[in-house]
Amino acid sequence: MGKIKQRQAQGEEEINNKVKKLKFFYSVMFSVVFFSLFKLQIFDHHFYREKMERQIFKKVIVKAERGKIYDRNGKILAMDVPYYSLYLDFWKIRDYEKNHPGYWKFLRKRVSEILNIPEEILERKAKKSSYPLIKKELTIEEYKRLKPFRGKGVVCEENFKRVYPYGKLACHVIGFSGTERKGLEGAEYYYDWILKPSDGISVILKDGMGRVIPSLEKEIVHPRKGKDIFLTIDLNIQNIVEEEIEKAWKELKPKSISVIVMEKSGEILALANRPNYDPNNPGDYPAGFRRNRAVTDIFEPGSIFKIVTIAAAIEENIVSPLQRFYCERGKWFIRSHYLHDTHKFEDLTVEEILIKSSNIGTVKIALKLGKELLYRYCEEFGFGQFTGIDLPGEVRGILREPEKWSGYSIVAIPIGQEIGVTAIQAIRAMGVIVNDGYLPAPHILKEIHSQDGKIIPYKNIKSRKVISKKTCRILSQILEKVVSPEGTAPLAYISGYHVGGKTGTAQKVVNGRYSKDKVVASFVGYIYNRNSPKIVIMVKVDEPKKLFYGGLVAAPIFRNIAWRTMYYLEAPPDENLERLKLVLRGK
């Protein structure tokens, strides 16, 4: 009896163990299945959903229009224009063919005739896809001729391409955008974040074979056009500059030319360079043609830098306009070098030193000023630093700290040697004098226009004061004599206006020595009268082949641009101003 009970107990224990094992097995299996389902629903949900959507739907990017670029008067400088790509929708073609037998054969023939594409190619494309691209960019005539077939299997998808209506005009300001519709140069690059559109998204249903059904399309994200920008550029003044610079380019045959026209507050009215390019086809030109030399190219300014030296000395009350300096009859040995003037000057006043552009007189003033003060005013006038102009590629220029100067630097820097500047820095320095002593902020953006009609004006940068209004007045009186018969730039003079400026003829360094025949000829000046705003103009001609001096090369270009600009601004000559000038000169 006891043995029977023992065997029975053992049997029950074995059964219980088997049950436990089965429970454990099913528990593990349930846990695996549960975890897999949990992972599928929670962690892998998006993956499988996207995979399913890719199988069922095709995502299509709907291109939006890039913002336009306008000049200050609302003339379009850059815009997107639509073009159409031709696709054939074989879902529609087959559906249409049910009621119109032979439709595909007829359509194939007509498309072949319109686009001049062999029917065999159309047939091959039809076999490869239910929605083949036939031609990327249709002509206007092709688009019109295909119109009767739209909705019957012919689909003309809209895209955009960038167009610059005025070609080369203002190319270095506007720049261009690339095939990916991103700005690559000029305002297109600098303000890409404003001009850039937000493309839309649509989905198209696929059939069981994975072929798209274009007629079943749904918009998911609406496309949004980029914002428009208005530049400070005046296309009429820009055209004047382009015409005058082109004449000089052909006549003087220089290495390059840069011209900037700026309103006294810093608004750039025109900017042009030679060589230039057409932004509609930028790849057809060498990279150097696309360079905006007005902001990227450094040059020794030569005599135009004397304005800084003499302005600093007058502002610090170290010299007065009528104070005299002996100019050594045009040749002076200083710091182990001979310094020359173009004429054998003897005693000259401070104003005569600037009017006649005496190197010796300027250096003698600089020696009284001292290198620390000279350096400080170089910085105050904005040299050796970015102007902040809203164009790509700007460089700082070269201005070494006083401790890095050589023994001869106090002789070289005051007359525009051993220092590197850009054209935009030079015009900003002259802008100080016509802006009552405040440093202007050069810029090309006037305002932003959003699609909801909101206008965002350019945010003016607070200008810092460089010199007093009194010093500006003294300098203006001197600079206006520079363009008189006694100065170095009589060819810049225009009757009936306040015209002043300074010439520069800077020898270029070749193989470590100053060249005798390679120069940068320049003139930076201003023009205004009671009928017009104060306009500043910078002209830089690199290596002119004809003529040599800034007063002969650059001053006439300044004059032609200046008087034509005044005429455009409807600011006629002031006859009373000429009589006043004669009285002041004691005639």
**Last residue of a domain, which of 192, 215, 231?**
231
Q: Rounded to an integer, what distance in angstroms lies between the CA atom of residue 445 and that of residue 204?
A: 41
Does some domain include residue 389? yes
Same domain, 110 and 199: yes
Is residue 18 a part of any domain in this protein?
A: no
- Per-residue pLDDT at 439: 96
pLDDT, residue 235, reads 97
Count structural domains, the chain: 2
Res. 131 pLDDT band, cuts 50 70 90: confident
pLDDT tens digit string along 288-305? Answer: 999 999 999 999 999 999
One domain for residues 218 and 246: no
Tell me the β-bridge partners of 176: 185
Q: Does position 330 have pLDDT exceeding 70, yes or no?
A: yes
pLDDT at position 258 is 98
Q: Can you say whether the dihedral through the CA atoms of 568, 571, 575, 579 is positive or negative? A: negative
CATH, residue 242: 3.40.710.10
pLDDT at 450: 86
In this prediction, residue 355 has a pLDDT band, given cuts at 50, 70 and 90, of very high
State the Cα–Cα distance between residues 249 and 253, nearest whole angstrom: 5
Query: Would you state the pLDDT for residue 151?
Result: 80
Which tens digits make up the pLDDT trace of 163-219? Answer: 999 999 999 999 999 888 899 999 999 999 999 998 767 666 555 544 545 555 565
Structural domain contains residue 19: no
Segment among 32-46, 269-283, 294-308, 549-563 with least mean pLDDT: 32-46
What percent of the chain has pLDDT above 70?
84
- β-bridge mates for residue 201, sequence order: 61, 221
* Domain match, 262 and 317 both: yes
* 223 and 316 part of one domain: no
- The residue ranking higher by pLDDT, 92 or 552, is 552
On the question of a cis peptide bond just before residue 275, with omega within 30 degrees of 0, the verdict is yes
Q: Would you state the pLDDT for residue 584?
A: 56
State how far the Cα of 372 lies from the Cα of 29, in Å rounded to an integer: 86
Q: Last residue of a domain, which of 231, 248, 270?
A: 231
Q: Mean pLDDT over residues 337-341, rounded?
A: 93
User: Which tens digit of pLDDT belongs to each residue from 155-165?
Assistant: 888 888 999 99
Residue 544 has pLDDT above 70, yes or no: yes
pLDDT of residue 174: 98
Q: Which of 210, 231, 252 is the last residue of a domain?
A: 231
346 shares a domain with 475: yes
Q: How far is it, in rounded angstroms, from Cα 93 to Cα 100?
A: 10
Question: How much is the pLDDT for 511?
Answer: 85
Distance CA 416, CA 330 (A): 18
d(CA 551, CA 585): 23
The rounded Cα 56 to chain-centroid distance in angstroms is 45
- Please report the pLDDT score of residue 575 as a whole number: 74
360 in a domain, yes or no?
yes
Phi-psi domain of 183 (left: phi exceeds 0; alpha: psi -120 through 50; beta: other): beta
Residue 353 domain flag: yes
* Whole-number pLDDT of residue 553: 96
Per-residue pLDDT averaged across 342-365, rounded? 96
pLDDT tens readout for residues 419-445: 999 999 999 999 999 999 999 999 999
List the one residue out of 498, 482, 382 whose CA is nearest residue 432: 382
The pLDDT confidence band at residue 52, using thresholds 50, 70 and 90, is very low
Assess whether 224 and 100 both reside in one domain: yes
Per the prediction, the chain carries an average pLDDT of 88
pLDDT at 317: 96
CA dihedral (263, 266, 269, 272) positive or negative? positive
**Residue 565: half-sphere exposure toward Cβ, Cα within 13 Å:** 32
**pTM value?**
0.83
Q: Are residues 309 and 411 in the same domain?
A: yes
- Verify that 129 and 81 share a domain, yes or no: yes
User: What is residue 210's predicted lDDT score, i.e. its pLDDT?
Assistant: 46
Same domain, 299 and 390: yes
* Residue 39 confidence (pLDDT): 58
Is beta strand 513-528 parallel, antiparallel or unpaired with respect to 498-510?
antiparallel
The average pLDDT across 117-135 equals 89
Evaluate whether residue 288 is within a structural domain: no
For residue 499, the enclosing domain spans 235-278+294-446+461-584
Per residue in 514-533, pLDDT (tens digit) is: 888 899 999 999 999 888 89
Same domain, 303 and 316: yes
Among 34-38, 141-145, 226-230, 271-275, which stretch is predicted with the lowest mean pLDDT?
34-38
* Same-domain status, 252 and 182: no
For 3-51, write each residue's pLDDT tens digit.
565 666 666 666 666 666 666 666 666 666 656 665 556 655 555 455 4
Q: Is residue 46 part of a domain?
A: no
56 pLDDT above the threshold of 60: no
Q: How many alpha carbons fall within 13 Å on the CB side of residue 178?
A: 7
Is position 107 within any domain?
Answer: yes
pLDDT tens profile 447-489: 999 888 888 888 777 789 999 999 999 999 999 999 999 999 9
pLDDT exceeds cutoff 90 at 499: yes
Reduce the DSSP state of residue 69 to 3 states and report it: strand
Whether 227 and 252 share a structural domain = no
Q: Where residue 154 sits, what CATH number does that domain have?
A: 3.90.1310.10
pLDDT in tens, 389-404: 999 999 999 999 999 9
